[in-house]
């Protein structure tokens, strides 16, 4: 549907009074843009930086605030993002035409719709109801071609979901109690050599702050680098880092690299830095990795623990008797201990 068609659909969705308000609002926004006053130049803390909410989303709230149409925004209450800048920063190409893309943890579709704009055949996956998160309302406004699956990343299987060329996994892994399983599931729905783009929180800055008083002479930056080079993860059961009950595992960059490698990925490129996903103010990890064709099914038992088909034998303990008892001894034991 073209721009004119979308406007007509919007008009039909509004009553007479709402239509007049909508037309007046759109005209005002247009004048502001022509005057150069409709951009994003205002300071985020300034009272004047009030973003006009799209009329079809009036009275609603959601997670992300992003520009859904020129000069009009979603009613986000937690994070303001520019989806195009976020995808550029993490390395997703501008043109992904013909590729199948999966956005895991899509919420209101901020990044789903940007993937669609770049030409992908995109699917959003989330536990949330798309009517509640405004995903469905935003999709209608944009007339976006995007599928939605309500479910968990743990439930991803090729037989049900098919295969993807690209998976975006932004701001999710630290909300999971089983992040390694999540990466395994993602690998198993990625085509060999497909790309995973990942972003999320880390414990490196938090642990450096905890250690600072115990390591005299060390700079805060050097402690962050030291901790981030160790393959460790903090299980934040008492929620000290983000003070939110739904945050669990916070890995270092080295730990996340190890998780990805063990979960069937290679050519892993990760950076510890601020990024536009988190408002460019918080230290996070972001990067990408390639699905390793050699390890297409990382959740198989063989990669976690051995299953023995013969008697277990280990060199750890010295045998009491170096020689095995003769077969006749076992026969004598059975005869002696048999029932009357």
CA 320 to each of CA 315, 317, 323, 325, 332: distance values in angstroms, whole numbers, following the listed order: 13, 9, 9, 12, 21
- For residue 29, pLDDT beyond 50: no
Distance, CA of 187 to CA of 93 (rounded, Å)? 20
- For residue 258, pLDDT beyond 70: yes
Structure tokens that stand for 134 in this block: 């405004």
Q: Can you list the domains of the chain with their CATH numbers? A: 3-78 (no CATH), 81-295 (3.40.50.150)
Is pTM, for the whole model, over 0.75?
yes
- For residue 324, pLDDT beyond 70: no
- Among residues 85, 264, 112, which one has the least CA distance to residue 186? 264
Higher pLDDT, 308 or 202: 202
Give the three-class secondary structure for 79. strand
Mean pLDDT of 80-104: 98
- Among residues 105, 120, 117, 194, which one has the least CA distance to residue 152? 105
**Which single residue is written with the structure tokens 């303990």?**
317
- For residue 248, pLDDT beyond 90: yes
- For residue 80, pLDDT beyond 70: yes
Give the model's pLDDT for residue 202. 98
Express each pLDDT in 90-100 by its tens digit.
Answer: 999 999 999 99
* Range of weakest confidence among 22-26, 154-158, 263-267, 272-276: 22-26
- pLDDT-derived band at 56 (thresholds 50, 70, 90) equals very high
- For residue 321, pLDDT beyond 50: yes
Rounded to an integer, what is the distance from CA 316 to the centroid of its chain? Answer: 42
- Looking at the chain, list the stretches that DSSP marks H as alpha helix, in order from N- to C-terminal side: 3-13, 16-34, 83-90, 110-117, 135-142, 158-161, 179-188, 204-211, 220-228, 253-262, 327-336
Structure tokens that stand for 23 in this block: 């037309």
């Amino acid at each position: 549907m073209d721009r004119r068609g979308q406007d007509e659909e919007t008009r039909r969705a509004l009553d007479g009074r709402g239509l007049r308000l909508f037309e007046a609002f759109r005209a005002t926004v247009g004048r502001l843009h022509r005057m150069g006053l409709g951009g994003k130049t205002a300071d985020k803390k300034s009272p004047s930086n009030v973003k006009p909410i799209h009329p079809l989303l009036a009275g609603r709230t959601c997670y992300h605030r992003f520009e859904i149409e020129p000069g009009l925004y979603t009613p986000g209450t937690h994070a303001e993002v520019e989806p195009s800048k976020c995808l550029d920063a993490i390395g997703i190409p501008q043109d992904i035409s013909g590729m199948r893309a999966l956005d895991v943890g899509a919420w209101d579709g901020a990044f789903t719709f940007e993937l669609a704009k770049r030409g992908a055949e995109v699917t959003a996956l989330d536990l949330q109801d798309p009517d509640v998160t405004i995903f469905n309302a935003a999709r209608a406004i944009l007339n976006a071609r995007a599928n939605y699956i309500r479910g968990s990343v743990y439930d991803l299987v090729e037989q049900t979901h098919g295969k993807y060329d690209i998976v975006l996994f932004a701001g999710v892994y630290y909300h999971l109690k089983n992040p390694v399983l999540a990466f395994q599931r993602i690998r198993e729905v990625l085509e060999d050599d497909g790309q995973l783009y990942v972003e999320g929180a880390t414990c490196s800055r938090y642990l450096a702050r905890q250690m600072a008083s115990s390591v005299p002479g060390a700079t805060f930056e050097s402690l962050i680098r030291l901790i981030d080079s160790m393959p460790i993860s903090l299980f934040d059961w008492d929620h000290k880092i983000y003070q939110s009950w739904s945050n669990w595992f916070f890995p270092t960059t080295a730990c996340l690299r190890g998780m990805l490698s063990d979960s069937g990925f290679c050519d892993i490129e990760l950076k510890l830095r601020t990024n536009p996903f988190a408002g460019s103010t918080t230290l996070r990890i972001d990067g990408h990795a390639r699905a390793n064709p050699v390890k297409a099914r990382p959740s198989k038992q063989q990669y976690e623990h051995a299953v023995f088909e013969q008697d277990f034998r280990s060199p750890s303990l010295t045998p009491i008797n170096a020689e095995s008892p003769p077969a006749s001894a076992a026969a004598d034991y059975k005869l002696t201990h048999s029932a009357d």
